[in-house]
Amino acid sequence: MTLNGPATMERSPLLKFEDFSVGSDNYETFVHEIGHALGLSHPFNDNSGASLLPVAVENYKYTVMSYTEYAGAGYYPGIPEIIGVAPSTPMLLDIQAIQYLYGANMNTRTGDDVYAFSNAGPEFKTIWDAGGIDAFDLSNQILNEVINLQPGGFSSIGKTYSKAEWPVAARENIAIAYNVTIENAIGGSGKDTITGNTAANDLSGGNGNDVINGLDGDDVLKGGGGNDRLTGGLGNDWFNVMDKSKDVFTDFSAANDTIQLENSVFTQFTATGGIAAGNFKVGPVAGDTDDYLVYNNINRVLSYDEDGNGAVAPVPIAVIGVTFSANLTSADFVAI
């Protein structure tokens, strides 16, 4: 191979090139050799075996130029049921090095891209995306997934190839390249952990007891089914109440944030928009016939009172704050 020239490979009669599917060793070999053609070297000393990168990053997780396999993508020596996959793209450090040499390709994936992943086995890749409003969609996943939208961050998505009765979760197998912004994420049916970035994120947990952290930016946080834990971080955030399970809003600020109520669920709010002052009550119980939202500022529990008068036990839908009680008013709510 030659730098900036055509990449060619000769077939050796000693090797079998039968499987060229994405994730196969043969596919990875092509990606690896193209890396050499672009000027990338092995991250270890070919003669002495000494690493030119720190041992912690001298593996497939960070560079396709390594020879060291990565357990998070399913390489478990001695366990034949778990096969594992090789990288299908240049990885985090490879992309950084290629962009140092040639600059970033700002024409790749400039639209609104949705990244979905297999739930049959692991994928092992790093995502470069030059623009648009993009999303990770894990709605088909069933394990406890980890989504990290921070540039340079790793997500744990899907499972390693394994027996059906023994699924093993993949670990930090999907990376987002540096200087890439993925805005939105949708979780699956497990207990997912979703972390946003500095953009305005729309983060939805799906079913399961999820943990969602928007970090910076004006974020929309949707726990979905289950008892979820939502943290907005900096910015003016929207905490969405989609069902009647009880979520925790860890850092809700009445000065900056807003609680969204799905009026298809909370049917007393037939119109979209702000909540009338008469429909909100601060105290332990409803006070008259139309107190549909009741906020107990002692235990910080927000409840939905269907009949508005407390005759039927109200349904707790959120805990507002962890160690302090927010000064809520009707102005902090909007029906959608």
Phi, psi torsion values for 324, nearest 5 degrees: -140, 160
Could you confirm whether 10 is annotated as catalytic?
no
pTM above 0.85, yes or no: yes
Residues 132 and 210 placed together within one structural domain of the fold: yes
Residues 50 and 161 placed together within one structural domain of the fold: no
In the block, residue with structure tokens 């269907």? 306
204: CATH: 2.150.10
Burial of 120 (0-12, 13-18, 19+ CB in 10 A): exposed
Residues 153 and 293 placed together within one structural domain of the fold: yes
3 touches 41 (CB < 8 A): no
Pairwise CA distance, residues 211 & 291, whole Å: 30
188 in any annotated domain: yes
Residues 327 and 183 placed together within one structural domain of the fold: yes
Pairwise CA distance, residues 262 & 272, whole Å: 9
Cα–Cα separations (whole angstroms), residue 23 to 70, 131, 134:
13, 26, 24
Query: What is the tally of structural domains in the chain?
Result: 2
235 in any annotated domain: yes
Q: What is the pLDDT along the chain (336 residues), one digit of tens a residue?
A: 344 556 666 666 655 667 788 888 889 999 999 999 999 999 998 775 666 899 999 999 999 999 999 988 877 665 655 567 899 999 999 999 999 999 999 999 999 999 999 988 789 999 999 999 999 999 999 999 999 999 999 999 998 865 555 678 899 999 999 999 999 999 999 999 999 999 999 999 999 999 999 999 999 999 999 999 999 999 999 999 999 999 999 999 999 999 999 999 999 999 999 999 999 999 999 999 999 999 999 999 999 999 999 999 999 999 999 867 779 999 999 999
Residues 47 and 194 placed together within one structural domain of the fold: no
What pLDDT sits at residue 284? 94
Residues 81 and 37 placed together within one structural domain of the fold: yes
Closest CA to 333 of 242, 247, 240: 240
9 in any annotated domain: no
144 in any annotated domain: yes
Residues 84 and 232 placed together within one structural domain of the fold: no
Residues 64 and 159 placed together within one structural domain of the fold: no
Residues 45 and 179 placed together within one structural domain of the fold: no
280 touches 330 (CB < 8 A): yes
What pLDDT sits at residue 24? 86
Local structure of residue 277 (DSSP, 8 states): G
Local structure of residue 313 (DSSP, 8 states): P
Q: Which residues contact 146 (CB under 8 A, 6 or more apart)?
A: 155, 156, 157, 172, 192, 193, 194
Domain containing residue 88: 18-103
3 in any annotated domain: no
Q: Which member of 33, 172, 262, 306 is catalytic?
A: 33
**Among 50, 79, 103, which residue terminates a domain?**
103
For the chain, what is the largest distance between any 2 Cα atoms, rounded to a whole number of angstroms?
86
Pairwise CA distance, residues 171 & 155, whole Å: 7
7 in any annotated domain: no
Residue 200 has a CB neighbour count (10 Å cut-off) of 19
**Among 81, 103, 125, which residue terminates a domain?**
103
4 in any annotated domain: no
Residues 153 and 281 placed together within one structural domain of the fold: yes
50: CATH: 3.40.390.10
Residues 281 and 189 placed together within one structural domain of the fold: yes
Residues 54 and 99 placed together within one structural domain of the fold: yes
**Among 103, 138, 155, which residue terminates a domain?**
103
Pairwise CA distance, residues 150 & 108, whole Å: 19
Residue 170 one-letter amino acid? A
